[in-house]
């Protein structure tokens, strides 16, 4: 079973509630951190950074996250994240490397084996090309989200793995995935409008 399916079905070891039914960052960040193999020494930090955000229920518009102490800094960090994660295949690479480190060819085959049709017109290519993966890996290495290890002895295999920062990033992204699950109908409508705009 893919790790993402396991996560959506995963039940909190503390409250036995499916994570799809409550915000893991607010109620049990340690369980989600364990699911993404965050070291125990870092789980308290993950909890501190996520516990202040509360999942807003679709039927209760009054529930809102605590306002950030500095709106300018909050906006700046959002832009930082956008630039750090730029690229058509960034998320595909991070997800493919979540379970274990992979050599280049295996990583390429893993991503190609997935359903890469997102349905959004912004994805220009469904089939990952070798040159695209090279560019994506270089950008992720530069951003310290992927680590590259080359063996010292022949045949000098090169292995790629995600960093601790990338694992914690995926923990934080789980909140966005839950939001997308709640607002799937909205996303379907927007996706269709974007397709129509492109076809006009």
Give the pLDDT of residue 174: 92
Give the pLDDT of residue 120: 78
Helices 164-182, 184-199: axis angle to 10 degrees equals 90
Query: Among 22-31, 35-44, 92-101, 181-190, which is the least confidently predicted range?
Result: 22-31
In tens, the pLDDT along 81-90 reads: 999 999 889 9
In tens, the pLDDT along 131-184 reads: 999 999 999 999 999 999 998 888 788 999 999 999 999 999 999 999 999 999
DSSP-derived 3-state class of residue 22: coil
Which one is predicted more confidently, 37 or 131?
131
Distance of CA 76 to the CA centre of its chain: 20
Is 20 within 8 Å of 181 (Cβ atoms)? yes
Domains with residue ranges and CATH for the chain: 3-56+163-199 (no CATH), 84-162 (1.10.10.10)
Closest CA to 68 of 53, 79, 51: 53
Prediction pTM value:
0.68
Closest CA to 172 of 35, 46, 67, 81: 46
What's the mean pLDDT when you consider all of the chain? 76
Question: In 10 A of CB 199, how many CB atoms?
Answer: 7
């Amino acid at each position: 079973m893919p790790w993402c399916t396991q996560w959506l079905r995963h039940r909190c070891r503390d409250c036995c509630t499916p994570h799809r039914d409550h915000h893991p960052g607010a109620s049990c960040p340690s369980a989600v951190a364990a699911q993404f193999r965050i070291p125990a020494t870092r789980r308290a930090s993950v909890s501190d950074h996520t516990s202040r955000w509360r999942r807003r229920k679709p039927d209760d518009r009054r529930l809102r996250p605590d306002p950030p102490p500095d709106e300018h800094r909050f906006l700046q960090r959002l832009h930082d994240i956008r630039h750090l994660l730029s690229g058509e295949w960034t998320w595909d690479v991070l997800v493919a490397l979540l379970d274990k480190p992979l050599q280049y060819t295996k990583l390429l085959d893993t991503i190609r084996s997935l359903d890469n049709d997102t349905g959004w017109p912004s994805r220009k290519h469904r089939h990952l090309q070798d040159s695209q993966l090279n560019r994506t890996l270089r950008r992720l290495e530069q951003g310290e989200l992927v680590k590259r290890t080359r063996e010292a002895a022949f045949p000098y295999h090169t292995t790629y793995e995600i960093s601790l920062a990338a694992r914690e990033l995926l923990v934080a992204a789980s909140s966005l995935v839950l939001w997308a699950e709640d607002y799937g109908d909205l996303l379907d409508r927007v996706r269709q409008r974007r397709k129509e705009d492109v076809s006009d």
